[in-house]
Chain A
Amino acid sequence: MKRMIAFVLAVLLVCCATVCVGAEDSNVTYHGQSGEFIFAPGSDDSPTDLFVNFKGVMPGDSLTQTVTVKNDKSRDVKVKIYLRSLGAQNDGKSPQFLSQLSLRVRKAQDNTMAYMFDAAADQSAQLTDWVELGTLYSGGEVNLEVILDVPTSLDNTYSQQIGYLDWQFKVEEFPTEPSDPDAPQTGDLPRILTVSLCATLSAAIVLILLLARRKKKQADAS
């Protein structure tokens, strides 16, 4: 009986695992050691492809791709990460195909309906300029939810098409400070305050020295 239960559980486990494989997440990792981004898993069409779930799309499909943007743990740095879209590659075919599809992008954590991008897939639209995704400490991550909608009106003209869409990620790197919180969202304020305080103090001291010098000169002259 126990063996039977174990067998059933094993079968269920395999089934669950199989179901989970269906939708694959992709990752953008800022590798501090090399100072480069690593994109995974990629595809046969592009080694930096993040849209692994958007293959063989059919009219009426509404597909979701989760993209996890990470700051690697290998160096003790915090980074600000930005995203922008360059739109469809101008290869003659991509813009025409992608213009038929709708794309939406939002930060999964926000849990709101506000999208940082909501336009035809060939456009750069709201992501034409850099959009900050957040400040990430070592090991930190932010999840993007990308939703692709394929209209039911997409006809045979667009079967077996391929569209290339470029996204750029930018990172600004900062050393961590003791005042940084453990699991922060930002953390820039203490540093700015320190800098401002030091600059003000320096200016005040220099001013005092100048005044003192002038006073001495006046005293010497009289």
Chain B
Amino acid sequence: MGKYKLKLAAIALVAIVMTFFAQETLAYYTTVGTATNVVTSGNIQFTIHETTKGGNPFPEEGVYVTPGQIVSKEVRVENSCAHPFYLRVKAVYGIDSKTLSAEDCFKLDIDPADWTLADGWYYYNRIVEPGETTPVFFSLVEMVGAKMDNAYLGKTLTLTVKAQAVQSQNNPVTDDDITTAVGWPQEE
């Protein structure tokens, strides 16, 4: 009986030791790591370049003009963001007079091959890719002599170029008609 018990005790010991090993196998090490993920949204940005024929910046203070004079003023728009966009541009005229109008005082040499007039805006006929600069919107401004009579003497006329852009990514147009793009900003 003593031998029998000894054997049993030995087996029990082995089993217990095995169990300990097995438990060690089960024991696990746990660690946690945190990843801070970031989503950013893009935007559309452009720069309007106004230069003279020689490439110099157009004078901020303006120029003195006379009826019939043709002024060199080249206007281009550069895509200065990472996304392609559709573009529309328009010229807004002004004068420091409540009785006179600046309309029809300016004549611009806008090339219809590049720009299509619709809704009062000139739509650029292609997509402006990132880093790309458009051809000139206009390069010469003629002061219309027939319109500018003596009443305009000493007045200040302004020609302001406004531009709007909307993304072309995920924004297909119908029949290459840029005006059908979705998302053009509302008129101010």
Chain A contact residues, CB within 8 Å of chain B: 28, 30, 35-37, 39, 43, 45-46, 48-51, 54-61, 86, 89, 97-98, 101, 121, 148, 150, 152, 154, 156, 158-175, 177, 191, 194-195, 198-199, 201-202, 205-206, 208-209, 212, 216
Contact = CB atoms under 8 A, between A and B. Distances in A.
A89 B41 contact: no
Contacts of B26: 174, 191, 195
22 contacts: A28-B33, A51-B37, A54-B37, A54-B40, A57-B41, A58-B83, A59-B170, A97-B41, A152-B171, A156-B185, A158-B41, A159-B44, A164-B38, A165-B37, A167-B34, A170-B30, A171-B30, A172-B28, A172-B30, A191-B22, A198-B22, A201-B15
Could you say which interface size class chain B belongs to?
Answer: 35 or more
Contact of A49 (B16, B33, B36, B82): B36
A199 B36 CA distance: 44
Contacts of A174: 25-26, 28
A36 B33 contact: yes
A154 B170 CA distance: 12
B39 A195 contact: no
A205 B11 contact: yes
A54 B39 contact: yes
Contacts of A97: 39, 41
A46 B36 contact: yes
Given A162-B38, A205-B8, A170 B19 contact: no
B98 interface: no
A86 to B, nearest CB: 8
B12 A205 contact: yes
Contacts of B12: 202, 205-206, 209
A50 B35 contact: yes
B29 interface: yes
Secondary structure at chain B's binding surface: helix, strand, loop or mixed? mixed
A159 B31 contact: no
B38 A58 contact: no
A164 B8 CA distance: 63
A57 B37 CA distance: 14
A198 B36 contact: no
A36 B41 contact: no
B100 interface: no
A216 B31 contact: no
Nearest to A77: B29
Given A173-B29, A175-B25, A191-B26, A121 B36 contact: no
B35 A159 contact: no
B45 to A, nearest CB: 9
A166 B34 contact: yes
B1 interface: yes
Contacts of A51: 37-39
Contact of B39 (A121, A169, A206): A121
